[in-house]
Amino acid sequence: MQNMSLFIASLNSGSNGNCYYIGNDKDAVLVDVGISCRETEKRMKQLGLDIRTVKAIFVSHEHGDHIRGVSTFANKYQLPVYITSLTAKHGPILIKHLSKNFSAGECIMIGGLAITAFTKCHDASDPHSFIVSCNGITAGIFTDIGVVCDNLIRHFKQCHAVFLESNYDEEMLENGRYPIHLKKRIRGGQGHLSNRQALELFIKHRPPFMSHVLLSHLSKENNEPQLAANLFIQQAGDVKVVVASRYTATEVFRISGNQINQPVKSNVKPQQLGLFAEM
């Protein structure tokens, strides 16, 4: 019988580095590696995730907090890196045979995982977000998005779980110490989603089968984790709300059609889950 679950975790989320794990019981991908190779290895080990399950890296855009560890990690483990040609011009230095191009709307199969990219609004060369699907279960990685566009809405509606940017509180940004040009960049339609924008997307467009929302890429200066979480929890119903930290990995969550809303405990290793390394 096929495993009907995806397993997801944020290894780090924020302007200091972004790295997201999505996999089934045999194969996994990383979306962005914006923390060091050593830190990526360390956090996967802490979660009980077998690094051998990672079969590819997908790069959303070339900003440092998304690519910092890509080259070292990919070269060490000889992993293909899916990156557009425009992003690659400004992105990580890769061994040529590891670099694989992708296009928006193209479905790329990595083992049993289907990864599809779509374009988004962000001040980068060729930015994309991704959905990852397996056996009818879909997870979305939606960060570094300046505005809620039709593309985002259409893909959001497909997801059982999402890493959703909730970058800033509008009042905190307005009254904060950032210079005006940076404030304009963040909220100007090519920067990031505010708590309000993310919540509006969630309320209006979440599908009935969505079970998890991981609030991601929170600003250290212009947001508070509890503030963002409380806004969503009030509207979440049965959807589990988690804040993805800029300091530590989240737990590993099992996403399935028959959702139990429980993390996969890293100190418990069910025998049927091939993604857990033997100690």
SS (H, E, C) the chain: CCCCEEEEEEEECCCCCCEEEEECCCCEEEEEECCCHHHHHHHHHHHCECHHHEEEEECCCCCHHHHCCHHHHHHHHCCCEECCHHHHHHCCCCCHHHEECCCCCCEEEECCEEEEEEECCCCCCCCEEEEEEECCEEEEEECCCCCCCHHHHHHHCCCCEEEEECCECHHHHHHCCCCHHHHHHHHCCCCCCEHHHHHHHHHHHCCCCCCEEEEECCCCCCCCHHHHHHHHHHHHCCCEEEECCCCCCCCEEEEECCCCCCEECCCCCCCCCCCECCC
pLDDT at residue 273 in the model: 30
Label residue 95 by pLDDT band (50, 70, 90). confident
pLDDT at residue 276 in the model: 28
Given a cut of 60, whether residue 267 has pLDDT beyond it is no
pLDDT digits (tens, 9 = 90+) for 172-220: 999 999 999 999 999 999 999 999 999 999 999 999 999 999 999 999 9
- The single residue listed with the structure tokens 């418990």 is 268
CB 93 within 8 A of CB 161: no
pLDDT at residue 90 in the model: 83
Is the full-model pTM beyond 0.75? yes
pLDDT, the chain, mean: 91
What whole-number distance in Å separates Cα of residue 109 and Cα of residue 71? 22
CB 25 within 8 A of CB 269: no
pLDDT at residue 257 in the model: 78
pLDDT at residue 3 in the model: 61
pLDDT digits (tens, 9 = 90+) for 223-249: 999 999 999 999 999 999 999 999 999
Residue 57 CA from chain centroid, whole number = 12
Label residue 24 by pLDDT band (50, 70, 90). very high
Domains detected in the chain: 5-264 (3.60.15.10)
